[in-house]
């Protein structure tokens, strides 16, 4: 067949990361770079915005290197320049937006902003971690996601019929090189963060991010809802394992209750609003939570690792101001997420907290979803 294969089926880092047991140490390797495992047990993507609008920057020089989006367009990011004491501090947020696992799904994706920089809006407002008091005068960057593989693909061949480019790893490096040339090579402080698919990317690229920066730079990584476990779905099948084998990942509700495992829609109402869930469905989700915690504990102990693991029905809490650092933001140990991250980064105090099971936390903002077919992360 002329269709290029995206990744070697056994050696690709995504497959290594999600193989249930033998490759767990590879996650710990990432953790040596002070990996923040910021993980959410239940939830869906919630993204609202506020703050100043930041224009887009296209990395045109990347095209010559083959570092391009699915459709061949150049990578892009939004950059709010640092100033004052933050001029040599850098906060990189990797955009989420799911994955595509085959030619058909990637063809659909390449005609959206998640596959083409031509379709991205020219300005976006920064919110959540990008609009935080701890990093207000840092260089703050939102890296746009347009490769469908958490910035990991590196296939040289391009099918002339589909014109699909699987070049996520090249996109990652091209964007980082562009930022290094614009001052990041002088970084004194640096954070690599991301949500969902971007959260997975922050795990996979944490060590390489550290290696790009000068010796002595304070570097930490934040994975928001980016740690996906290999577990059975509500039908008892291994849907997510098959998806990972095909290099597809979905957000948390679709790992546990994907449409293929729920053909009659028994879980549809529950997925839209957790208040609609039957007691038996709540029990299934509680069991999923326990499996998640067991997988997490296998990573071992590390004093440098931070954990803010709540049981709120939400997905990605770094990107929304209401969940990040506002008066009624969710709390663990009487601490908001933004405060926990700031204290953790500056080594003011460690933070490794795991929430009690749903619905014990009254500070949660449990999301209600109107459209079961809305795009997910």
**pLDDT, tens only, 309-365:** 998 888 888 888 788 888 889 999 999 989 999 899 989 888 999 999 999 999 998
Q: What is the mean pLDDT of the chain?
A: 81
As a whole number of angstroms, the distance between CA 195 and CA 95 comes to 6
Tokens of 16: 């290594």
**pLDDT, tens only, 180-206:** 999 999 999 999 999 999 999 999 999
As a whole number of angstroms, the distance between CA 87 and CA 137 comes to 7
**pLDDT, tens only, 82-107:** 999 999 999 999 999 988 888 888 99
Q: What are the backbone angles phi and psi of residue 206, rounded to the nearest 5°?
A: -60, -50
Show Cβ contacts of residue 259 under 8 Å, excluding neighbours closer than 6 positions: none
Tokens of 303: 């004093």
Binned at pLDDT 50, 70 and 90, residue 44 comes out as very low
Binned at pLDDT 50, 70 and 90, residue 256 comes out as low
User: CA angle, 68 as apex, 173 and 65 as ends, to 5°?
Assistant: 65
Q: Maximum Cα–Cα distance for the chain, whole Å?
A: 58
DSSP 310-322: ---EEE-SSS-HH
Give 236's Cβ-side CA count (13 Å radius): 0
- What are the boundaries of each domain within the chain? 50-225
Tokens 């971007």: give the residue.
198
Average pLDDT of span 251-264 = 64
Show Cβ contacts of residue 315 under 8 Å, excluding neighbours closer than 6 positions: 40, 43, 44, 45, 46, 195, 196, 225, 251, 252, 253, 367, 377
As a whole number of angstroms, the distance between CA 98 and CA 114 comes to 9
Tokens 């890296």: give the residue.
143
DSSP 91-106: EEEE-------SHHHH
In percent, the amount of the chain with pLDDT more than 70 equals 80
Binned at pLDDT 50, 70 and 90, residue 218 comes out as very high
Q: What are the backbone angles phi and psi of residue 341, rounded to the nearest 5°?
A: -65, -45
Tokens of 236: 């008892």
**pLDDT, tens only, 7-42:** 334 455 555 544 433 333 333 333 333 333 333 333
- What is the per-residue burial (b if ≥16 Cβ within 10 Å, else e) of 150-164? bbbbbbeebeeebeb
- Answer yes or no: are the C-beta atoms of 221 and 121 closer than 8 Å: no
| CA dist list (Å): 293 to 43, 302, 307, 308, 354 | 16, 16, 12, 12, 9
Does residue 283 have a pLDDT over 60?
yes
Does residue 3 have a pLDDT over 80?
no
51 in the Ramachandran plot: left (φ > 0), alpha (ψ -120 to 50) or beta? left
| CA dist list (Å): 70 to 44, 115, 132, 198, 361 | 25, 5, 32, 16, 41
| CA dist list (Å): 278 to 53, 122, 244, 269, 272 | 42, 44, 29, 10, 13
The secondary element (H helix, E strand) that includes residue 204 is: helix 197-204
Cα R_g (the chain), whole angstroms = 20
Stated length of the chain = 377
The DSSP bridge partners found for residue 139 are: 90
């Amino acid at each position: 067949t002329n269709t290029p294969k995206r990744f070697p089926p056994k050696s690709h880092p995504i497959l290594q990361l999600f193989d249930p047991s033998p490759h767990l140490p590879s996650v710990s390797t990432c953790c040596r770079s002070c990996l923040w495992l910021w993980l959410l047990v239940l939830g869906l993507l919630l993204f609202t915005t506020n703050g100043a609008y930041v224009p887009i920057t296209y990395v045109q020089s990347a095209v010559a290197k083959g570092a391009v989006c699915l459709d061949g367009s150049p990578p892009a990011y939004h950059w709010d320049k640092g100033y004052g004491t933050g001029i040599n501090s850098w906060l990189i947020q990797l955009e989420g937006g799911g994955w595509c696992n085959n030619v058909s799904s990637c063809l659909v994706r390449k005609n959206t902003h998640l596959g083409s920089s031509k379709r991205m809006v020219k300005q976006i407002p920064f919110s959540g971690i990008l609009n935080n008091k701890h990093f207000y005068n840092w260089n703050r960057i939102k890296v746009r996601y347009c490769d469908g593989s958490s910035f990991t693909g590196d296939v040289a061949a391009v099918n002339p019929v589909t014109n699909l480019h699987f070049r996520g790893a090249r996109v990652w490096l091209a964007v980082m090189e562009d930022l290094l040339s614009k001052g990041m090579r002088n970084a004194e402080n640096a954070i690599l963060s991301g949500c969902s698919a971007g959260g997975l990317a922050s795990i996979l690229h944490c060590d390489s991010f550290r290696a790009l920066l000068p010796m002595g730079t304070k570097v930490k990584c934040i994975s928001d809802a980016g740690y996906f476990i290999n577990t059975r779905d509500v039908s008892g099948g291994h849907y997510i394992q098959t998806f990972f084998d095909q290099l597809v990942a979905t957000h948390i509700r679709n790992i546990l209750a994907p449409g293929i495992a729920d053909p009659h829609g028994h879980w549809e109402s529950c997925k839209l609003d957790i208040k609609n869930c039957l007691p038996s469905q709540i029990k299934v989700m509680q069991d999923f939570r326990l499996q998640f915690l067991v997988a997490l504990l296998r990573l071992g102990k590390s004093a440098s690792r931070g954990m803010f693991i709540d049981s709120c029905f939400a997905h990605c809490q770094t990107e929304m101001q209401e969940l990040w650092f506002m008066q009624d933001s969710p709390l663990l140990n009487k601490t908001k997420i933004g405060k926990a991250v700031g204290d953790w980064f500056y080594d003011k105090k460690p933070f490794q907290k795991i929430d009690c099971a749903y619905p014990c936390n009254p500070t949660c903002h449990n999301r209600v979803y109107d459209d079961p077919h809305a795009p997910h992360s």
